[in-house]
Amino acid sequence: MGHFTQDFQKEYEFDGDNITVKMKRLTRPNAAIINPHVSRVSERARKAEQEQGKDFDKSKLLSQEEMVEYMEATEKVLRDSIVRIDGLFIEGNQVVVGSDLYETVLTHVYFTELLVRIVNDLVAASHLTADEEKKSEEPPGDTSTT
């Protein structure tokens, strides 16, 4: 039996809040929107780490234009994927999916770092790990009866 679950949740710490985000895994259309951006950042991060070490300046991985495109894609994908947020507050008010405060989170630059972490976890959770992929390719054991 497979181990796929449609929903998953992750915990984050942001701006003094301990946040739990419940998400639906990526659909193919949403993966097509976000994967090119995530791949670009990952490739540049690998290259920067090789050239500059682990303390490279992450803020220089994307140009301002690329970052705007990345965040627009992130907003679209997270609108479709986030089911629930617990523990995130703005001016003492709980952020609820679909509310004006949720729109604030999705559209304001202040929340960029949090949204990037969420979308990266969403992409990772929506794909098989290398070990899971290897297990999927292995032929099943002999089930014949003689």
In this prediction, residue 127 has a pLDDT band, given cuts at 50, 70 and 90, of: confident
Mean pLDDT of 49-73: 90
In this prediction, residue 1 has a pLDDT band, given cuts at 50, 70 and 90, of: very low
Rounded percentage of the chain residues whose pLDDT exceeds 90: 73
Write down the pTM of the prediction.
0.81
Looking at residue 28, its pLDDT comes to: 94
Retrieve residue 144's tokens. 């014949």
Mean pLDDT of 14-42: 94
* Alpha carbon distance 109, 88 (integer Å): 16
The domain limits of the chain are 14-127
How buried is 35 (Cβ within 10 angstroms: 0-12 exposed, 13-18 middle, 19+ buried)? middle
Mean pLDDT of 38-63: 89
Task: Decide: 15 and 24 in contact? Cβ < 8 Å.
Answer: no
For 68-114, write each residue's pLDDT tens digit.
999 999 999 999 999 999 999 999 999 999 999 999 999 999 999 99
